[in-house]
Amino acid sequence: MLYSVCKEDIGKRLDTVVSAYAGISRAMAQKLIESGCVTVCGKIKDKKYQVSEIDTIDVQIPESKPSDVSAQDIPLDIVYEDDDLIVINKPKGMVVHPAPGNPDNTLVNALLYHSGSTLSGIGGVIRPGIVHRIDKETSGMIVVAKNDEAHIDLSSQLKDHTLGRIYHAVVLGNIKDDEGTICAPIGRSVRDRKKMAVTAGGRDAVTHYRVIARYNGYTYVECRLETGRTHQIRVHFASTGHPLLGDTVYGNGKNKWESLQKDILMGQCLHAKEIEFIHPKSKERMHFTSDLPEYFKIILQKLENMSK
């Protein structure tokens, strides 16, 4: 696949640009560069090479290897499926792909059982078909590619924002404005490398929000992602003093009412409610929405009753 460098990416590292353009992890981008599968204007460059506006980047993704991840018969809530993609409503508590501490019972394990070798290989043997991720304790809509062409197309839509995602969340405190935008770069926390944080050296991140309802000490919001950084919504709202209800990583954990809801919450109150994209083959604009999960409805009812 041949790419021209966008204006906003001039001066960025080659591995960073390849990762964004091809929709693959930075680690995989580095492996492709090191193995000679990436050329810049026909020449092999180092992963740290800073791209220029005149560069054309050719990314050749080799045939995918058989997955070492086991297929598991795990039920999937499939909202839509065709020969190119699958749209799934992921339940709260399910990890998207295997990782240390979560070797199985993931969405990928379930997808391998359901679709087998038809999934795109671009994500690598651990993440076949995975175009974008949502956190373990975040429920909701995720689109999966069934072939490399669909994966590349959907990844490009992530980059140019034609793949839209709308989340619903409950945050602590009363957000004063009815709507607004949080624009703050996100990167690894210098204090805790396992966490993300708003940091000057981070990647641009933009979250648009609209207040749906206000309760006594809490706000129910709709969030539209313009970018898709790791933990973006959680980090952005925590940075404004309004961490997500139930978020044990970015919240302060000192809210008494929240502590009483642990059996219901089990993590942040966040649901990927809508997803919209252009179909890679038919070019038809597609839009899918899901109901709020039961735990979310119970929380909203409790907040409404508490606010009367």
212 in the same domain as 303 = yes
Asked if residue 69 belongs to a domain, the reply is: no
86 in the same domain as 36 = no
Listed residues 27, 59, 91: the one ending a domain:
59
Interior/surface letters 32-65, b for 16+ CB within 10 angstroms, e for the rest: bbeeebbbbeeeebebebebeeebebebebeebe
Asked if residue 67 belongs to a domain, the reply is: no
186 in the same domain as 131 = no
210 in the same domain as 111 = no
Asked if residue 150 belongs to a domain, the reply is: yes
- Using a pLDDT cut of 90, give the percent of the chain over it: 60
Q: What is the pLDDT of residues 109-162, one digit of tens each?
A: 999 999 877 888 776 666 788 899 899 999 999 999 999 889 989 988 988 888
277 in the same domain as 172 = yes
Q: What is the pLDDT of residues 60-84, one digit of tens each?
A: 876 655 456 788 999 999 999 999 9
Listed residues 160, 189, 217: the one ending a domain:
160
* CATH of residue 46: 3.10.290.10
Asked if residue 98 belongs to a domain, the reply is: yes
pLDDT recorded at residue 66? 47
* CATH of residue 121: 3.30.2350.10
41 in the same domain as 140 = no
pLDDT recorded at residue 76? 96
Which residues have CB under 8 Å from 193's CB, separation 6+? none
Asked if residue 227 belongs to a domain, the reply is: yes
Q: What are the φ/ψ torsions at residue 125 (nearest 5 degrees)?
A: -65, -20
pLDDT recorded at residue 201? 83
183 in the same domain as 155 = no
Active site residues: 135
297 in the same domain as 169 = yes
pLDDT recorded at residue 155? 86
182 in the same domain as 263 = yes
pLDDT recorded at residue 124? 67
264 in the same domain as 186 = yes
pLDDT recorded at residue 60? 86
Listed residues 16, 32, 59: the one ending a domain:
59
pLDDT recorded at residue 183? 97
Would you state the structure tokens that stand for residue 208, as one six-digit string? 């648009």
255 in the same domain as 183 = yes
pLDDT recorded at residue 245? 95
Asked if residue 300 belongs to a domain, the reply is: yes
State the total domains in the chain: 3
**Alpha-helical segments (H) within the chain:** 14-22, 26-34, 107-115, 148-160, 232-239, 256-259, 262-265, 294-307
Q: Which domain holds residue 39?
A: 2-59
Would you state the structure tokens that stand for residue 201, as one six-digit string? 């050296």
Asked if residue 68 belongs to a domain, the reply is: no
Asked if residue 190 belongs to a domain, the reply is: yes
Stretches where the chain sits below pLDDT 70 are 62-68, 100, 123-126, 253-254
242 in the same domain as 145 = no
**Could you please report the per-residue DSSP string of 159-203?**
HHT-SEEEEEEEEES---SSEEEEE--EEE-SS-TTSEEE-TTSB
